[in-house]
């Protein structure tokens, strides 16, 4: 669950705004005297692993094609993070460049700091890790307190719509956890990447129109 010192501050402000309302020990959807929703996006990450043969000359063309096919099979897209793990003492700059070129076809740059995966990377191979995060708000909607009588707590469904929409629309769910650094260099790289993908991507109309038959059999 995504929580931070800012969320804690919002909780304290919400408690102060309730005036003389007694604060319960446990805040839940059915007992929330604050203006801070208990329904928060939960971010989960999945790591996909691909081991490719690599030498001093980098990845061979067949290995690059195999990597490209693997990227396509997992539907690599914006928001995914591609990192590389290599055996200590067997790092290959050319292999990294080859993998970077293949990932660049999907509009992605190589990230730093590969996550820990099962099994050691063998010499002569390079491990490509594609990490994908997803965000969701579980248990929504919650329509448990439908009383008409005024109460000094928020609705049990309070925050479900806003945070579910946020989890569904955020391009990179990891931003809900760590955010973006906002540096000028990072912004220019992101803009250049989008322009490069736009220019290099093959137009969808170059393959012609798909022909389908509308004749029905008896």
Q: What pLDDT digit, counting tens, does each position of 47-84 carry?
A: 999 999 987 788 999 999 999 999 999 999 888 999 99
Q: Which has more pLDDT, 170 or 198?
A: 170
pLDDT for res 44: 93
The pLDDT score that the predictor gives to residue 167 is 93
User: How many CA atoms are closer than 13 Å to the CA of 190, on its beta-carbon side?
Assistant: 11
Q: 37: closest CA among 87, 64, 3? A: 3
Domain boundaries, the chain: 5-41+150-169, 43-134
Hunting for tokens 């080859």 — which residue is that?
98
Q: What is the reported pLDDT for 29? A: 83
Least trusted range by pLDDT, from 36-40, 99-103, 214-218: 214-218
pLDDT > 90? residue 164: yes
Pair 139, 95: CB distance under 8 Å: no
CATH architecture assigned to 43-134: 2-Layer Sandwich (3.30)
């Amino acid at each position: 669950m995504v929580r931070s010192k800012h969320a804690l501050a919002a909780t304290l402000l919400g408690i102060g705004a309730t005036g003389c309302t007694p604060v319960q020990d446990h805040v839940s959807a059915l007992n929330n005297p604050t203006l801070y929703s208990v329904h928060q996006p939960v971010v989960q990450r999945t790591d996909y692993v691909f081991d490719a043969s690599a030498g001093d000359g980098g990845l061979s063309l067949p290995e690059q094609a195999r990597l490209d096919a693997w990227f396509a099979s997992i539907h690599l897209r914006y928001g995914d993070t591609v990192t590389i793990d290599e055996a200590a003492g067997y790092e290959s700059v050319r292999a990294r460049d080859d993998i970077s070129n293949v990932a660049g076809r999907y509009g992605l740059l190589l990230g730093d700091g590969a996550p820990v995966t099962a099994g050691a990377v063998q010499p002569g191979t390079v491990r490509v890790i594609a990490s994908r995060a997803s965000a969701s708000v579980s248990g929504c909607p919650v329509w448990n307190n439908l009383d008409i009588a005024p109460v000094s707590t928020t609705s049990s469904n309070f925050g479900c719509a806003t945070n579910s929409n946020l989890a569904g629309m955020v391009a990179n769910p990891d931003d809900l956890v760590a955010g973006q650094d906002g540096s000028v260099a990072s912004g220019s790289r992101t803009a250049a990447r989008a322009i490069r993908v736009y220019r290099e991507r093959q137009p969808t109309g170059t393959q012609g129109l798909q022909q389908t038959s509308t004749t029905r059999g008896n």
